[in-house]
């Protein structure tokens, strides 16, 4: 008997959380330099789409501006992002990734991708195709 739609939803949610936790916990450098999920997420967004205003970053991450400000403050203190004045509007501050921030994103993503690549090698072509399609659907869910 196949599982009900609510049961399938639970299965997907739990599997997604477990995989995300595994990627975070096992593939992050030592605890002293570990970024929170929110911090790494914000850093990765600024690295990919920046420079951004705090409001733009908060909107992309779907959090409040005050919450994002706390996250950005921690990233700034760690030397991973900087705030600079916008050339066209001196009142506006833009967030940009520092070289250390870009390196952190690159190294973390490379470790995570390498781990996933090793897991994908263990699967057959059909299973990898299922996961590729699932990744597309999950991306669609995440951006709607």
pTM check: above 0.85: no
pLDDT at 91 over 60: yes
- Grade residue 103 by pLDDT with cuts at 50, 70 and 90: very high
pLDDT at 29 over 60: no
Share of the chain above pLDDT 70, in %: 94
Q: Who has greater pLDDT, 25 or 17?
A: 17
The domain 35-143: what is its CATH number?
Answer: 1.10.10.10
What does the pLDDT read at residue 65? 93
pLDDT at 32 over 50: no
42, 68 in Cβ contact below 8 A? yes
What does the pLDDT read at residue 26? 63
The DSSP bridge partners found for residue 83 are 95
**Strand locations in the chain (E):** 81-85, 93-97
- Work out the angle between the directed axes of helices 65-77 and 37-49 (0-180°, nearest 10): 90
Distance in angstroms (rounded) separating the CA atoms of residues 14 and 8: 10
Average pLDDT over residues 18-27: 79
Please give the mean pLDDT across all residues of the chain. 89
What does the pLDDT read at residue 31? 44
Share of the chain above pLDDT 90, in %: 65
Closest among 32, 59, 64 to 46, alpha carbons compared: 59
The DSSP bridge partners found for residue 85 are 93
| 93 φ, ψ (degrees, to nearest 5) | -110, 135
Domain boundaries, the chain: 35-143
Average pLDDT over residues 99-108: 93
Average pLDDT over residues 100-111: 91
- Grade residue 39 by pLDDT with cuts at 50, 70 and 90: very high
């Amino acid at each position: 008997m196949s599982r009900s739609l609510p049961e399938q939803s639970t299965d997907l949610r739990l599997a997604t959380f477990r995989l995300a936790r595994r990627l975070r916990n096992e593939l992050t450098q030592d605890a002293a330099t570990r970024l929170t999920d929110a911090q790494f997420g914000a850093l990765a967004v600024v690295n990919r789409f920046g420079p951004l205003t705090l409001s733009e970053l908060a909107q992309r991450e779907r959090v409040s501006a005050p919450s994002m400000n706390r996250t950005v403050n921690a990233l700034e203190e760690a030397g991973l992002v900087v705030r600079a004045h916008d050339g066209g509007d001196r009142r506006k501050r833009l967030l940009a990734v520092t070289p250390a921030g870009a390196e952190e994103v690159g190294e973390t993503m490379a470790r995570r991708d390498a781990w996933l690549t090793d897991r994908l090698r263990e699967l057959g072509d059909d299973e990898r195709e299922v996961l590729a399609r699932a990744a597309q659907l999950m991306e669609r869910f995440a951006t709607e």
